Amino acid sequence: MALVVLGVCAAAIVVFPARPVSLRSLPNWELAKLLPGVHDFPPSWNYSLRGAVQRVDPDRPDAAPPNRPATYRPSDCANIPAIATLFNGYGYSAMVHVDKQSDQIARAVLQSSDEPDPNARFVIYPVADGAAMITKYVEWLHGCGTYHVTATDPDGGAPVPRVVVTTIGARSAGGADAALEVTRSATVTVPGPLRTMVYHVSYYWVRGVLLECATNLTGADTDLVNRVAAQTLQRIRTR
């Protein structure tokens, strides 16, 4: 910010710097450097950094239907907004994934089941208008905050019914042009013990890229992930 003084009356004009340019055109490896580093997490956590070699069309509207279509109740909830399915098959620029599974045998068992290991991910997507995507998702959640879905088990081929509940949290974040926090749970409703997966997901639209932070960690681990997410957001904002 600069202060300009004009004339004998000492009229002050505050000149603000130009709005930050979009980072969307940066190569993926440059965006990857904005994500958390290995030293942002405890030494016992597993850390990986991944990046896409080539980008896909960032203006894809909504998610393509799966190979084995699922059934939804209400039926209108089948039109899931793209922002909620970005991680499933959409081309990201860069991603950091961390998890706490140290037992390699248990790790192999978890990877062969539908029970995810305790983990978190930080992903940058080069979408065209993250603010509009966030708005569309919030509007959709007003009618589909709770819905039932039955999908085919890719391993056994049996139908698996679930009830999915999404609650809206914060709608803003310091440093973001638009933001949204949600808690998303999916409970398998077949006879037997209830199995519920809960993820806390945050979306931040900042300087032309969308940052997604998602975790199923709990307690102090969630607090750590939130701090790292806030640091990542500020790093993108101030680059």
| pLDDT tens-digit readout, 19-29 | 458 999 999 99
According to the model, what pLDDT value does residue 115 have?
Answer: 58
In the chain the first and final C-alpha atoms are separated, in Å, by 17
- Can you give the pTM of this predicted structure? 0.83
pLDDT band at residue 57 using 50, 70 and 90 as cut-offs: low
Sequence spans of domains, the chain: 22-238
According to the model, what pLDDT value does residue 169 have?
Answer: 97
| pLDDT tens-digit readout, 114-137 | 557 899 999 999 999 999 999 999
State the chain's mean pLDDT as an integer. Answer: 84
Share of the chain above pLDDT 90, in %: 64
The reply to whether omega before 69 is within 30° of 0 (cis) is no
Q: Which CATH number fits domain 22-238: 3.40.50, 3.40.1000, 2.40.50, 3.30.70?
A: 3.40.1000
pLDDT band at residue 102 using 50, 70 and 90 as cut-offs: low
What are the residues facing 182 on neighbouring strands? 168, 201
